[in-house]
Amino acid sequence: MNCEEYREAIATDPSFDGGAGHLNECAACQQYRSDMQALDQRISRALAIDVPELQVPELPELSTSKSDKVVALHRRQLAPQTWFAMAATVVVAALLGVRLVGTGIEYDSLADEILAHLDGEPNALRVTDVAITAKRLNAVVPADIALMDHSAGLITYAQTCPIGGRDVPHLVIQGERGPVTILLMPEEKISGPQRLSGDNVNGIILPVGNGSIAIIGERDERLDRIEESVLKSVVWST
């Protein structure tokens, strides 16, 4: 490590403790380090402004009742080809000595499965204003599944996720009250719109052609505009 590299490291983080070999031999860098640490102490003191006493706003009561769920479909039956795929997976896993976890989970409804999936993927619900790249969006929503543009909103998360035994695009856009989940399910045909609600969320599964799209936001999120923009921005390819 030379002087330039050492000073670069110290200037980005004065607590940097690498480069001991160089530091022991360079008095100038010892002085630089000491100066930067003194500067940081001053910065730290300046940033530590007085904080007013905590005043918690009036917090609304939140329902935790499971009876909030509006949707109560029949127990979901997986399609024969899905059972075959799962059986094949188990055989392959057994041959490879892989221990499968959670393959026996059965959900009462598509809504239940979606809510359980959201619980298992909290990172998706990160509040952010950074959009994913077009490359990422195209990777998760390939042209053979659907054509989708960016007009649905600020898309901040995209991942392929298993729903109903199939891999489907799981997207998140930022709504008025927080992240809004969008699940594109081109092969999940439903007969009509299904409302769903969880402890703190509300949403809807909309029939779209031979598939469906789930849109889930926070309890007080207004989903109607988001529904409209999502439906305009997605066209199934199949």
Q: Which is nearer to other proteins, 89 or 128 (CB)?
A: 128
Instruction: Please give the size of the binding site for other proteins, defined by CB under 8 A.
Output: 43
Stretch that binds other proteins, among 57-65, 92-100, 108-116, 228-236 (CB under 8 A): 57-65
| Binding test (CB under 8 A) with other proteins, winner from 17, 20, 25, 64 | 64
Stretch that binds other proteins, among 104-112, 126-134, 157-165, 228-236 (CB under 8 A): 126-134
- Cα–Cα dist 35/141, whole Å: 52
- Cα–Cα dist 76/31, whole Å: 70
> Which tokens belong to 204?
């809807």
Name the minimum Å distance from CB 159 to other proteins: 16
> Which tokens belong to 97?
């000595």
Q: Are residues 223 and 153 in contact, defined by beta-carbon separation less than 8 angstroms?
A: no
- Cα–Cα dist 59/156, whole Å: 28
Q: Are residues 233 and 209 in contact, defined by beta-carbon separation less than 8 angstroms?
A: no
| Residue 80 contacts other proteins per CB under 8 A | no
- Cα–Cα dist 132/57, whole Å: 34
Q: Which is nearer to other proteins, 60 or 80 (CB)?
A: 60
- Cα–Cα dist 202/206, whole Å: 13
| Binding test (CB under 8 A) with other proteins, winner from 69, 78, 136, 178 | 178
| Residue 128 contacts other proteins per CB under 8 A | yes
* Residues contributing to the site for other proteins (CB under 8 A): 8, 11-14, 35-36, 39-40, 42-49, 51-52, 54-57, 59-62, 64-65, 122, 125-130, 177-178, 199-200, 218-220
